[in-house]
Amino acid sequence: MNYSEINIFKGLTEYEIKNLLSSTETEIKTFKKDEYVFREGEVSNDFYYLIEGEIIVFQIDNYGNRFIFQKIEEKTGFGEVYAFLNEPFDFDGVCERESKVLIIKNFKKLFENSNEQFFKNYINFISNKCLNLSRKNQITSKKTLRQKICKFILDKEESGSLTLTMNREELADYISTTRPSLSRELSKMASENIIEIQGKEIKILDIEKIRSEI
């Protein structure tokens, strides 16, 4: 495992990383499909880093509706805030497919031997997460489904198109709606020549119309 690839260790020497990890233990664990990495209400002191695989972080409300907070499918860290504050998880984390995860135990101990670069990395890491959370809140806080979809498209598009990494059901859970409602609205937008849908790719045909909706 190349620890220098991990967000919070960027720019650190091998010696500096070894010194940081000397006060804790690490484990690389493989989780099966549908296996939970953590559950709502659990308290963990550990930092997780996805090496490979796919993890859905979600919550189910009292009515049985699923709310997807995040879909983790790229190499990145997670669980750091709960580990640092020793707070119970607000969400469940389950593997969508077999996933390999690095676990740094007693994560807070890293700060006992930390240096300036580590602190900068951690602040940058947390800041980016806060920014992504803010952008997601801007989507789910929109009044209409059309507004939510348009905001999502504008946030994710690159060069006039975007490729969905979620299926329809997951996307519906992500923007707080139902799959049938989402499909109907996407079809309506396509019939109005605002977007064109080809599988998981959405091509923007009228970006000014999308901007005007939000």
Same domain? For 59 and 162 the reply is no
**Per this entry, what is the length of the chain?**
214
pLDDT number for residue 214: 84
DSSP letter assigned to residue 83: H
Q: Sign of dihedral through CA atoms 107, 4, 7, 17? A: positive
pTM reported for the whole predicted model: 0.82
CATH code for the domain of 190: 1.10.10.10
- b/e per residue 86-105 (b: at least 16 CB within 10 A): eeebebbbbbbeebebbbbe
Residue 98 has a pLDDT of 97
Kindly report each contact of residues 67-75 with a partner whose C-beta sits within 8 Å and lies 24 or more positions away, as own/partner: 67/173, 67/176, 68/166, 68/170, 68/173, 68/174, 69/136, 71/96, 71/165, 71/166, 71/170, 71/174, 73/165, 74/50, 75/5, 75/49, 75/50, 75/51
Q: What is the DSSP string of 149-211?
A: HHHHHHHH-BTTEEE-SS-HHHHHHHTTS-HHHHHHHHHHHHHTTSEEEETTEEEES-HHHHH
Q: What is the pLDDT of residue 101?
A: 97
Residue 101 sits in the same domain as residue 149: no
191 and 147 share a domain? yes
What are the structure tokens assigned to 78, written together?
């997670």
Per-residue tokens: 190:
């396509």
Q: Decide: residue 172, CB within 10 A, 0-12 exposed, 13-18 middle, 19+ buried.
A: buried
Same domain, 130 and 55: yes
Residues 78 and 147 occupy one common structural domain: no
Q: Which of 76, 110, 136 is the last residue of a domain?
A: 136
Regions of the chain short of the pLDDT cut 70: none
**Number of domains within the chain:** 2
- In this structure, the answer to whether residues 183 and 80 fall within a common structural domain is no
- Identify whether residues 147 and 46 lie together within a single domain: no
Q: 114 is in which domain, residue-wise?
A: 3-136
Domain co-membership, 37 together with 86: yes
Predicted local confidence at residue 65, as pLDDT: 86
The predicted pLDDT at position 207 comes to 94
pLDDT of residue 47: 96
